[in-house]
Amino acid sequence: MINKIKSYQLWIISFVLMLALGIYQRTTGPTYPVKGKVEIAGKMYGYKLLRSHDTKIDAPFEMKVPDHTSGTLRFKRFKSNDEWTSIQLQPENGVIRAQLPHQPAAGKIEYEIILHDGSRNIPLTDEPVVIRFKGAVPPYILIPHIFFMFFAMVFSIRTGFEALLKRDNTYIFNTITMMLFLVGGLILGPIVQKYAFNAYWTGWPWGYDLTDNKTIIAFAFSLISWFVLRKNKTNRAWPITATIIMLAVYLIPHSVLGSEIDHTKTGTMVTPKNEIKP
C-alpha cells in the first residue's frame, strides 16, 4: 500500500512536516514571546512579554488595564551583578506602558511586571522573563538563509521517504539536501549570526550554541550519506539515518543555548535608569 504513494504526495507530506517542524521550533524556543491573561476586577486582560528585540530600539511593553491599576517594572541585566531597578508605571487612557533599554548584540535583560489593583499585587509571570537583543539582519541575507534551511528540511525528509520506499532518486535528493544545508547553514548561517550577534560561529568547537551545532550535525550526516551513496546508490541505511538525525536535532527548540553576554565580566550597566519611560 505504501509503495503506491505518488511522488507528489510524498512532496506534500515532506512540506507539511517541514512546516510543522518550523512552527514547533519557533513557538517553543526561548525567543518566542510569553503570552497570557490575568484577571483584574472580574475581567480577563491579555499581555505579551517580548523575549527578543532589536539592539537599536528599546523593547516596549503595553497592556490594557482597568482604571486605578498601576504597575511596577523590575529589571536587571541577565548574568550580571546588577541590582534590580524598579520603575513605577501609571496607566494612560486605559493602557500601561514601559520600555526596556536596548542592549548590545547578545545582551540579555531579565524583567518582570507586577500590577497593582489597589488591594493586591498581580505578577504577570511566576519567574522573570529574559529578553535577548540582536542586530538587524538585511533581508537579502535573512530571506535566502530561511529559504535554504527550510527546503533543506523538505529535501531531507523527502530523501528519507525515497530511501525507505527503495526508489531511484535517493542519491539526487541527498545531494540537493547536502547543498542546501551547505549554502543555507554553513555559508549564509554564519553571516546571519555575524549581523545578529557579532560572531560568525558560536557552536562547536568554540561554544555551545545549539542552532550552530544542529546545523553542523545535520550537514555532517547528509555529507556522510552522500559519500556512501556515491559508492552504492542502493544504500538505504545512511540516508534514512541522516533524515532521522535531522528530525531529532530540529526537534530542539530554536535558539536554545544561543549567544549571550556574561555581564559579570563586563562591568556595571551603562544605561541610566531614567531612560525607561513609563
Q: What is the pLDDT of residue 278?
A: 37
Considering the domain boundaries, does residue 257 fall inside one? no
Q: Are 100 and 178 found together in one domain? A: no
Q: What is the pLDDT of residue 50?
A: 96
Q: Say what the alpha-carbon torsion angle 195, 181, 51, 80 is, to the nearest 10 degrees.
A: -60
Question: Which of 121, 136, 151 is the last residue in one of the domains?
Answer: 136
Q: What is the pLDDT of residue 256?
A: 64
Q: Are 120 and 54 found together in one domain? A: yes
Decide the pairing of beta strands 70-77 and 85-89. antiparallel
Based on C-alpha coordinates, what's the Rg of the chain?
A: 23
Q: Tell me: pLDDT of 235 over 90.
A: yes
Average pLDDT over residues 169-173: 96
Q: Tell me: pLDDT of 141 over 70.
A: yes
Residue 155 corresponds to which cell in the numbers above?
529535501
Domain extent, residue 55, equals 34-136
pLDDT digits (tens, 9 = 90+) for 186-199: 999 999 999 998 88
Q: Are 77 and 115 found together in one domain? A: yes
Q: What is the pLDDT of residue 24?
A: 87
Q: Tell me: pLDDT of 103 over 60.
A: yes
pLDDT digits (tens, 9 = 90+) for 17-51: 999 988 888 788 788 899 999 998 889 999 999 99
Q: Are 9 and 71 found together in one domain? A: no
Considering the domain boundaries, does residue 261 fall inside one? no
Distance of CA 240 to the CA centre of its chain: 27
Considering the domain boundaries, does residue 263 fall inside one? no
Q: Are 187 and 204 found together in one domain? A: yes
Q: What is the pLDDT of residue 84?
A: 94
Q: Tell me: pLDDT of 2 over 70.
A: no
Average pLDDT of every residue of the chain: 88
More confident residue, 237 or 209: 237
Q: Are 173 and 128 found together in one domain? A: no
Q: What is the pLDDT of residue 275?
A: 42
Which residues fall within 8 angstroms of residue 227, CB to CB, at 6 or more apart? none
Q: Are 84 and 123 found together in one domain? A: yes
Q: Could you give the CA distance from residue 123 to residue 190 in angstroms, rounded to a whole number?
A: 39
The band of 277, judged by pLDDT with boundaries at 50, 70 and 90, is very low
Question: Which of 136, 156, 191 is the last residue in one of the domains?
Answer: 136
CATH number for the domain spanning 88: value is: 2.60.40.10
Q: What is the pLDDT of residue 154?
A: 97
Considering the domain boundaries, does residue 180 fall inside one? yes
pLDDT digits (tens, 9 = 90+) for 39-86: 988 899 999 999 999 999 999 999 999 988 999 999 999 988 899 999
Question: Which of 104, 136, 168 is the last residue in one of the domains?
Answer: 136
Residue 11 corresponds to which cell in the numbers above?
512532496
pLDDT digits (tens, 9 = 90+) for 197-234: 888 887 777 777 778 888 999 999 999 999 999 999 99
Q: Are 191 and 124 found together in one domain? A: no
Q: Which of 145, 136, 149 is nearest to 214 (CA)?
A: 149
Q: Are 41 and 169 found together in one domain? A: no
Q: Are 50 and 59 in contact (CB under 8 A)?
A: yes
Q: What is the pLDDT of residue 271?
A: 44
Q: Are 176 and 186 found together in one domain? A: yes
Considering the domain boundaries, does residue 267 fall inside one? no
Q: Report phi then psi at 5, rounded to 5.
A: -65, 130
Q: Which of 278, 221, 258, 243 is nearest to 95 (CA)?
A: 278
Q: What is the pLDDT of residue 272?
A: 38
Q: Are 80 and 21 found together in one domain? A: no
Task: State how many domains the chain has.
Answer: 2
Considering the domain boundaries, does residue 255 fall inside one? no
Q: Are 110 and 17 found together in one domain? A: no
Residue keyed to cell 521550533: 25
User: pTM value?
Assistant: 0.83
Average pLDDT over residues 122-131: 94
Longest dimension (CA), the chain: 75
More confident residue, 178 or 250: 178
pLDDT digits (tens, 9 = 90+) for 86-96: 999 988 888 99
Sign of CA dihedral 34, 37, 38, 41: positive
Considering the domain boundaries, does residue 103 fall inside one? yes
Considering the domain boundaries, does residue 271 fall inside one? no
Provide the total of helices (H) and of strands (E) in the chain, helices listed first: 6, 10
